[in-house]
């Protein structure tokens, strides 16, 4: 997970220049990797994902290509798995945990940024109690 975070930051910096506090951020990622701190890596991953949401569609595809080439990450498979998880939540009709609520919020944000299926956007918004 740490290598993925570092590659994502590098990709963004290659296009937009240094990110504020990027050296400190890299140090936090490296420290979490060195100590096997998966919790910290997950927290940092959420921040990094937030940074990547600002990328254009072409840039996201470029990032996905880099991650696939360097780390074997299959972003399409990850999206499909997340979509299945969200579909289960929608079918259930309620949110089972805070973790699930956060996942739904991130998924909704991604759908909105990528002009996702309007019916799926509406279903996730309804589940989250948003209109």
| Angstrom distance (rounded) from CA 124 to CA 5 | 27
Per the model's pLDDT, the better-predicted residue between 51 and 84 turns out to be: 84
CA distance 12 to 55: 8
Helices of type H across 17-117: 22-34, 38-52, 57-71, 75-92, 98-113
Report whether pLDDT(107) > 80.
yes
How buried is 66 (Cβ within 10 angstroms: 0-12 exposed, 13-18 middle, 19+ buried)? middle
What confidence tens digit (pLDDT) does each residue in 74-97 have?
A: 988 988 898 899 999 999 999 999
CA distance 52 to 102: 17
C-alpha count within 13 angstroms, C-beta hemisphere, residue 2: 17
pLDDT of 131:
57
State what percent of residues in the chain have pLDDT above 90: 56
CA distance 126 to 35: 40
Alpha-carbon Rg of the chain, whole angstroms? 16
Is the pLDDT score of 1 beyond 70? yes
Q: What are phi and psi of 37, to 5 degrees?
A: -85, 85
């Amino acid at each position: 997970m740490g290598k993925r975070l570092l590659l994502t930051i590098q990709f963004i910096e290659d296009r937009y220049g240094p990110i504020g506090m990027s050296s400190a951020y890299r140090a936090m990622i490296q420290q979490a990797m060195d100590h096997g701190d998966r919790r910290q890596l997950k927290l940092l991953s959420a921040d990094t994902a937030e940074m990547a949401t600002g990328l254009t569609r072409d840039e996201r595809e470029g990032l996905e290509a880099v991650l696939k080439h360097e780390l074997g990450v299959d972003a399409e498979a990850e999206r499909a798995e997340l979509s299945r998880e969200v579909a289960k939540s929608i079918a259930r009709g309620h949110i089972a945990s805070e973790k699930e609520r956060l996942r739904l919020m991130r998924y909704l944000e991604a759908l909105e940024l990528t002009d996702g299926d309007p019916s799926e956007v509406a279903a996730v918004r309804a589940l989250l109690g948003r209109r």
